[in-house]
Structure 1
Amino acid sequence: MHALRIIPRDQHVISRKNISKAALRVLYRLNEAGYDAYLVGGAVRDLLLGGHPKDFDVATSATPDEVKKLFRNCRLIGRRFRLAHVVFGPEIIEVATFRGTGEEDGEGDRHIVDGRIVRDNVWGTIEEDAVRRDFRVNAMYYDISDFSVRDYVGGMQDVQDKVLRLIGDPVTRYREDPVRMLRAARLAAKLGFRIDEAAAAPFESLGPLLTEAAPARLFDESLKLFLAGHGLKSFRMLEQCGLLRFLFPSTARALKGGDGALRALVERGLANTDARVAEGKSVTPAFLFAVLLWGEVRDRAQDLVAGGLDLSEAWARAAAHVVGEQCQRVAIPRRFTLTMEEIWALQPRFEQVQRKRVLRLLAQPRFRAAFDFLLLRAEESPAIRELGLWWDHAQQLPVDVLAAALPAGSGTQGADLVTTTSARPPRKRRRRRKPGGHSGSA
């Protein structure tokens, strides 16, 4: 246990103007009612680094029931960790009571199974709460009473050193909650920090514990990893740490073969998603998960077609198999898996350039997302690259002009398209488009 370090207001950069008004209202109300109340965790860390947090969490000496009595706009949630959510329109301030370190009488209770904390509602002091947190950089408290930062575990030093260190024994902490391994990779990617050697050492031996984590929780963690603006760095960090195979096993298998085109597709898809987030544009998990799982879906579908199965049936079976396996690890909601399957199923249809099929595909609700996906596939072969250009041109023509240029029969398909000049719209009208976007329809 480190000695408490109090950093006064004139020695840190946190300003109340960068803290949400809702969080300040909660802090002041608790403080005025006689309770200790602090801004805590990632918000304090990010504010110290000059960032702008989206979420603000509060730690307090008040119990959840006492918090509820103070705020009419409060609801209590959770069994594993009982919390108070104070709701201000679209913003929710999460308020947690200081967690204790030992079994206590009263209203708290803790339940541990095979080293995993499955329920933890033992209240304690701020000092106990600090050592119960995961990383030292996440265990600093902003005190609303005097605007100081209280550091019980050496977090300020780690912020300055740009390193992630766990509080306590890493093996014990990962066994308590295996998802902390993913959080280490995510925070290192987001913050540009390195993971301390002691914190990284157990990844190989304890990584399999992630397969026992709740799939719904891993879905939420996947969104934080890949759709929060630092997806490419998170992906590379997961690979570097050897953790990708426990989260997206089929992706790890497909990339292990050294398929450069597939890696380019995945990394470009992640980079484009990061760019959309930075620009404030919408993103959808369906498109990105379709990118991550593409390699194995494609290979399995091609094997089934080579074995004599009908094209559409082969793609349907391949998609169902890969999605089924993935959802055992990460609980991707059905509304997203349906979109993923449609994006994949439309890929072979881009090779069919008969008049009716082209016009029907252009009218398909998922066309835009599927076309964006086709553009991402450009590195797979010159034929795929040419295919992307063809469809880019085709979309710019009036329907009647396009229809007149297309063959009505079934002879032009696949590789033949590349050499078909009669159906190719003029290149001078080409509109450049950034591949890998997230269509609103997806």
Structure 2
Amino acid sequence: MSSIIKSVKSWFASPATETPGAGTSTQIITRDQHSISRKDISDNALKVLYRLSNAGYESFLVGGGVRDILLGLHPKDFDIATNATPEQIKELFRNCRIIGRRFRLAHILFGRDVIEVATFRAHCDDNIQQAKEGMILRDNVYGDIEEDAIRRDFTINALYYNIKDFSVHDFCDGLADLRKRQLRMIGDPETRYREDPVRMLRAVRLACKLNLTIEPNTLKPVAELSHFLEQVPAARLWEEYRKLFLAGAAKLTFQKLREYGLFHALFPATDRALKHDDETQTQAIEQLVLDALENTDTRIASEQTVNPAFLMAVMLWQPLLESTEALQQKGNNFNDAFFKSMARVLNAQNQHISIPRRYALVIRDIWSMQLRLPAYHGKKAWSIFEHPRFRAAYDFLLLRSQSDPRQKELADWWTKFQEADASDRRQMLQKTGSGKKRKRRKPRNQKRQPANKNKH
């Protein structure tokens, strides 16, 4: 980290050039004063940058790609800003599609790699459609680069790398904030959060991911405005959920979301469960979630795959159990109550974070397998073991056993079964009674004996 700080400090070793007429805070940092190199930028992003520039348009790498390279990181996503309109961009690229209604963007497709290109935007109240609370509903007012910079969320995201002369344009003192390792909102934080409440989640995500401190004025309105997240489409929050918890800092993000009063807006049922009157139960619930988040961070750090459905299954496990218990009290048997609750809990969560169907099916499988894993007698053990969701269900059971000792024996059995060779597995199954074929008994036709009324 010290080398990164040193790199950032080097940008200020000599005075940057001020852009004429752009204001005293606008700086141009020449190639010899910053650490960005074209070798740090993806080939596809460079193709887009150069084609726009060669066609006579302004062409800048902007946002997270610039920020992360300056911090010594290796970004995967590269966004581009230009003065070309979406239609003009499409004329240059056959592999382009225009998306969005709220913000029209151009996506340049290179197989699975997508380079997002946005046209410089301006702030013009007469042409921006806003809700009465201030949330921007539609905005396609185009402007110049200075206006575009002011429209961005945080100062460290308003840094532009010019492909023409390899300079960095800093319009909002973003480099100074990077040097301080500080996340600061451009403009009045309350107004900017009202324009787009997701910025509150983004502030937490970036602070946790990049090890930044949220500047006090930027943080101050968050708790008070957290309810504005209810206005954000649930489908949009699915993508935010993935970014929040699958970026390698899930555990810290969870803790900060709770600290800042934002977690309830995403997972209201889980948040209520974490505030249970029974302190022991609350600790067990929290421990399950924290273990899952830590496990997710570890997997991401080791570049292992992570399915967002797994973490969602963990988050909603306690609400599922509580719903099951409530239905049992109304006369349902456990199995019926459990499976009815799966639909209830997922439907309720979809009001806040819309879970795509393919992930909802995985969540259901992980949950339902928790009822099958204890039934490892007979041929059922092989049926369970060969289920396509066995590994995810087993990992889920392992997590449960860490916070619930009652599950440890079962988790240990399945661990041993997986590690055993074919001979040892047969022996294990024989001990459960599965080694012998049982004769199927025909149902008896004899009448049942009357129950003994004196028996308790």
Report the equivalent of 1:405. Answer: 431
Report the equivalent of 1:239. Answer: 258
Structure 2 residue 27 is the aligned partner of structure 1 residue 5: yes
2:131 aligned to 96, 103, 113, which one?
113
1:82 aligned to 100, 104, 128, which one?
104
Deviation at 1:400, TM superposition (A): 3.7
| Matched AA of 2:432 | L
Question: CA, structure 1 residues 364+376, in 2 after alignment: closer, same or farther (shift >3 Å)?
Answer: same
Give me the whole-angstrom Cα distance separating, in 1, the residues matched to 2:218 and 2:319. 32
Question: CA, structure 1 residues 24+353, in 2 after alignment: closer, same or farther (shift >3 Å)?
Answer: closer
Report the equivalent of 2:296. Answer: 273
Report the equivalent of 2:187. Answer: 168
2:337 aligned to 294, 314, 323, which one?
314
Structure 2 length-normalised TM: 0.84
Report the equivalent of 2:15. Answer: none
Question: CA, structure 1 residues 197+103, in 2 after alignment: closer, same or farther (shift >3 Å)?
Answer: closer
Give me the whole-angstrom Cα distance separating, in 2, the residues matched to 1:250 and 1:155. 38
Structure 2 residue 335 is the aligned partner of structure 1 residue 297: no
Give me the whole-angstrom Cα distance separating, in 2, the residues matched to 1:400 and 1:61. 69
Structure 2 residue 346 is the aligned partner of structure 1 residue 323: yes
Verify the 8 A CA contact 1:138 1:155 in the aligned structure 2: yes
Deviation at 1:60, TM superposition (A): 0.8
Deviation at 1:376, TM superposition (A): 0.4
Report the equivalent of 1:186. Answer: 205
Give me the whole-angstrom Cα distance separating, in 2, the residues matched to 1:363 and 1:100. 57
* 3-state SS in 1 of match to 2:107: strand
Superimposed CA distance per residue, residues 249-300 of structure 1 (whole angstroms, 9 cap, x where no aligned partner): 1221122234222222211211222222222222111111001111221233
Give me the whole-angstrom Cα distance separating, in 1, the residues matched to 2:50 and 2:346. 48
Structure 1 length-normalised TM: 0.87
Give me the whole-angstrom Cα distance separating, in 1, the residues matched to 2:299 and 2:376. 31
Superimposed CA distance per residue, residues 118-152 of structure 1 (whole angstroms, 9 cap, x where no aligned partner): 11111111110010000111001111121111111
Deviation at 1:173, TM superposition (A): 0.5
| Matched AA of 1:54 | K
Give me the whole-angstrom Cα distance separating, in 2, the residues matched to 1:22 and 1:224. 23
Between the two proteins, the alignment pairs up a number of residues equal to 404
Tell which deviates more after alignment, 386-395 or 189-198: 386-395
1:57 aligned to 52, 74, 79, which one?
79
CA RMSD, aligned part only?
1.9
Report the equivalent of 2:401. Answer: 378
Tell which deviates more after alignment, 36-45 or 225-234: 225-234
Identify unmatched segments of 5+ residues in structure 2: 1-22, 435-456
Identity of aligned residues (%): 49
Report the equivalent of 1:415. Answer: none
Superimposed CA distance per residue, residues 298-336 of structure 1 (whole angstroms, 9 cap, x where no aligned partner): 233244446553221121122222111111100101221
Superimposed CA distance per residue, residues 14-51 of structure 1 (whole angstroms, 9 cap, x where no aligned partner): 11110111111221222222211111011111111011
Report the equivalent of 1:157. Answer: 176
Report the equivalent of 1:208. Answer: 227
| Matched AA of 2:265 | F
Give me the whole-angstrom Cα distance separating, in 2, the residues matched to 1:360 and 1:88. 42
| Matched AA of 1:163 | Q
Verify the 8 A CA contact 1:353 1:407 in the aligned structure 2: no
Report the equivalent of 1:148. Answer: 167
| Matched AA of 1:61 | N
Question: CA, structure 1 residues 316+16, in 2 after alignment: closer, same or farther (shift >3 Å)?
Answer: same
Report the equivalent of 1:134. Answer: 153
Verify the 8 A CA contact 2:160 2:170 in the aligned structure 1: yes
Deviation at 1:2, TM superposition (A): 5.4
Identify unmatched segments of 5+ residues in structure 1: 409-442
Larger radius of gyration: 2
| Matched AA of 1:201 | K
| Matched AA of 1:390 | W
Structure 2 residue 89 is the aligned partner of structure 1 residue 71: no
Structure 2 residue 360 is the aligned partner of structure 1 residue 337: yes
Superimposed CA distance per residue, residues 386-407 of structure 1 (whole angstroms, 9 cap, x where no aligned partner): 2211222234364543332114
Deviation at 1:194, TM superposition (A): 1.1
Report the equivalent of 2:60. Answer: 38
Report the equivalent of 1:22. Answer: 44
Asked which structure has the greater RCO (Cα within 8 Å, sep 6+), the reply is 1
Deviation at 1:223, TM superposition (A): 0.6
Deviation at 1:219, TM superposition (A): 0.1
Give me the whole-angstrom Cα distance separating, in 2, the residues matched to 1:73 and 1:351. 52
* 3-state SS in 2 of match to 1:85: strand
Verify the 8 A CA contact 1:6 1:149 in the aligned structure 2: yes
Report the equivalent of 2:439. Answer: none
